[in-house]
């Protein structure tokens, strides 16, 4: 028995040794792969970042535009080379754009922490500007290269991502939004709290509607939003004024008749930033639509009257704006049909009406039966002054709106319109036109029969969209813009060399502009 037990244990030990040798030659079991999991907490398209409790969503679009009758992708011809409307203007402008946005969210004991980034890569047709050479030499507006300006601009503070006139021919990188949201706070570059939810687009795809604010590329801000439930929220925000909300503080001393005719009423003398714009907003968002009331305060801070600080300066002048917006959804004309309207009044805060993509300076040439040609011009800054005076605010009011009708799941059409009026005070009218409309820098020009810097812009348009398959849309947007200016007469002037217009007689009268955008867009 003892011998049998010894043989059994010995055999077992040998088998274990052999088994151990074989096991050493077998491959080590691989660590389990951590697959990307769907995150259902925040809606469709979110996934957990592997190894974290943070959800991420990628999105964007690719867009191709063909704009007819404009040097710009975002507004009709209204000044400079484009406003000359001769052989120097573009008959078309092409643009291709890729948009990428990244949305991350993490649930915490304080609520959701959210970050959002939206950037665009854009290529836009450039244009040629006369140099004033006797040989007719021109200069291309584009610059070759990639400019990753953190403001979402290339060479400009005008609020577009493609240069001072939206026509840089290089591949341009723009940063639209980059913000953090936490515990009711929004910190970074986001849509202004003053804006209506549709920003510049109550129903259109054109960017340039007057009659309201519209920071479609975002504005840097620090905001707190309180949610009272039942769709009622209120926000208070401190927002950067420098990039999108300065229409100009003009020193009218030294303004010339030819400069005024070009839409330049003086020397822009904005000083350094002193205060952000202070914005408050209340919104009621319900199944029937929404109502929003917004107010804003804007500090107009001038540098100096002259070249040095010894020349003195005017005191700061606070401007303000108020806006009401209303959206009515699912009206009886059809499922999904919508009416969006808004109205605004400003006093020394012009960009809340003539928003940055519409601009507020005009110099449009046309034909005439009594002179070589015609011209209409206007400008609406925030304030004006002359050396030694205080600032005088420019007052404006306006509205915009649209009605969108869905013909079926694949086709819809929107009718839209906008209107804005600018009104100057006594100082501006005296400087430009003189007392009683006689005299002044421009009013004293021979041939001027009526002089008044007040003006209005009216706009009408129609857009039709076709979505043959989900997230692929083809659009055609036709818009008309009318400049209603208050000057009249026939004057002998020498326009800017950038217009290629000769020194001749020009009739002062209203002007019209028509443009069309043809667009294909694939969202993803």
pLDDT digits (tens, 9 = 90+) for 349-374: 999 999 999 989 999 999 999 999 99
Average pLDDT over residues 78-106: 91
**Residue 28: what pLDDT?**
57
Is the per-residue pLDDT at 19 higher than 80? no
> Whose structure tokens read 């294909």?
520
- The DSSP output letter for 437 is G
pLDDT tens profile 229-238: 999 999 999 9
pLDDT tens profile 169-212: 457 889 999 999 999 999 999 999 999 999 999 999 999 999 99
Is the per-residue pLDDT at 86 higher than 70? yes
pLDDT band, residue 416 (cuts 50/70/90): very high
Question: What share of the chain has pLDDT > 90, as a percent?
Answer: 72
Q: Which of 384, 355, 508 is nearest to 445 (CA)?
A: 508
Of the two residues 334 and 54, the one the predictor is more confident about is 54
Average pLDDT value over all residues in the chain: 88
Check: CB of residue 476 under 8 Å from CB of residue 339.
Answer: no
Cα–Cα distance between 114 and 107 in angstroms, integer?
9
Question: What share of the chain has pLDDT > 70, as a percent?
Answer: 87
Q: Which of 76, 94, 75 is nearest to 214 (CA)?
A: 75
Task: Please report which helix (H) or strand (E) contains residue 426, including its range.
Answer: helix 426-433
Cα–Cα distance between 229 and 294 in angstroms, integer?
19
**Residue 136: what pLDDT?**
87
Is the per-residue pLDDT at 26 higher than 70? no
Task: Please report which helix (H) or strand (E) contains residue 81, including its range.
Answer: helix 80-84
**Residue 32: what pLDDT?**
55
Check: CB of residue 221 under 8 Å from CB of residue 243.
Answer: no
Distances 84 to 87, 222, 495, 496, 499 between C-alpha atoms, Å? 9, 42, 10, 10, 5
**Residue 468: what pLDDT?**
98
Check: CB of residue 356 under 8 Å from CB of residue 331.
Answer: no
pLDDT band, residue 79 (cuts 50/70/90): confident
Is the per-residue pLDDT at 1 higher than 80? no
Cα–Cα distance between 231 and 198 in angstroms, integer?
17
Distances 406 to 188, 411, 495 between C-alpha atoms, Å? 36, 6, 47
Cα–Cα distance between 263 and 379 in angstroms, integer?
5
Quote the pTM value.
0.87
Average pLDDT over residues 272-299: 97
> Whose structure tokens read 């319109």?
417
Average pLDDT over residues 62-72: 91
Cα–Cα distance between 183 and 167 in angstroms, integer?
40
pLDDT band, residue 154 (cuts 50/70/90): very low
> Whose structure tokens read 């140099």?
131
Average pLDDT over residues 398-416: 97
Task: Please report which helix (H) or strand (E) contains residue 133, including its range.
Answer: none
pLDDT tens profile 427-463: 999 999 986 656 788 988 999 999 999 999 999 999 9
Cα–Cα distance between 228 and 225 in angstroms, integer?
10
């Amino acid at each position: 028995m003892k011998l049998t037990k010894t043989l059994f244990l010995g055999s077992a030990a040998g088998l274990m040794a052999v088994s151990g040798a074989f096991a050493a030659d077998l491959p080590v079991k691989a660590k389990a792969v951590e697959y990307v999991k769907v995150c259902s907490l925040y809606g469709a398209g979110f996934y957990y970042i592997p190894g974290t409790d943070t959800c991420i969503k990628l999105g964007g679009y690719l867009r191709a535009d063909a704009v007819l009758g404009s040097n710009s992708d975002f507004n009709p011809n209204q000044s400079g080379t484009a406003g000359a409307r001769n052989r120097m203007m573009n008959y078309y402008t092409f643009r291709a754009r890729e948009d990428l946005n990244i949305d991350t969210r993490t649930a915490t004991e304080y609520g959701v922490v959210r970050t959002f980034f939206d950037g665009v890569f854009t290529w836009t047709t450039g244009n040629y500007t006369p140099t004033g050479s006797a040989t007719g030499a021109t200069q291309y507006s584009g610059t070759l290269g990639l400019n990753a300006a953190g403001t979402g601009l290339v060479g400009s503070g005008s609020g577009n991502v493609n240069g001072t006139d939206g026509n840089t021919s290089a591949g341009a990188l723009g940063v639209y939004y980059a913000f953090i949201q936490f515990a009711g706070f929004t910190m970074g570059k986001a849509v202004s709290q003053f804006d209506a939810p549709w920003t510049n687009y109550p129903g259109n795809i054109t960017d340039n509607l007057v009659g309201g604010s519209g920071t479609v590329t975002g504005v840097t801000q620090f905001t707190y939003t309180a949610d009272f439930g039942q769709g009622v929220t209120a926000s208070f925000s401190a927002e950067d004024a420098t990039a999108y909300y300065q229409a100009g503080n003009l020193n009218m001393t030294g303004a010339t008749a030819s400069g005024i005719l070009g839409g330049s009423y003086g020397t822009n003398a904005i000083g350094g930033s002193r205060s952000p714009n202070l914005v408050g907003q209340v919104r009621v968002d319900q199944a029937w639509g929404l109502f929003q009331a917004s107010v804003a305060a804007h500090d107009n801070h001038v540098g100096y009257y002259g070249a040095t600080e010894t020349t003195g300066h005017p005191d700061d002048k606070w401007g303000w704006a108020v806006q009401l917006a209303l959206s009515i959804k699912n009206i009886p004309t059809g499922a999904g049909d919508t009416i969006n309207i808004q109205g605004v009044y400003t006093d020394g805060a012009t960009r809340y009406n003539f928003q940055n993509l519409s601009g507020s300076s005009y110099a449009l040439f046309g034909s005439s039966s009594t002179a070589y040609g015609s011209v209409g011009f206007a400008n609406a800054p925030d304030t004006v002054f002359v050396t030694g005076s205080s600032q005088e605010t420019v007052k404006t009011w306006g509205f915009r709106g649209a009605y969108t009708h869905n013909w079926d799941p694949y086709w819809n059409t929107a009718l839209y319109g906008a209107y804005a009026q600018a009104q100057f005070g006594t100082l501006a009218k005296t400087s430009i036109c003189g007392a009683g409309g006689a005299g002044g820098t421009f009013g004293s020009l021979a041939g001027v029969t009526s002089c008044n810097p007040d003006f209005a812009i009216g706009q009408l348009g129609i857009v039709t969209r076709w979505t043959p398959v989900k997230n692929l849309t083809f659009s055609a947007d036709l818009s008309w813009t009318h400049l209603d200016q208050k000057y009249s007469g026939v004057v002998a002037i020498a326009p800017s060399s950038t217009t290629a217009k000769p020194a001749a007689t020009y009739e002062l009268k209203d002007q019209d502009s028509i443009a069309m955008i043809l667009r294909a867009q694939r969202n993803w």
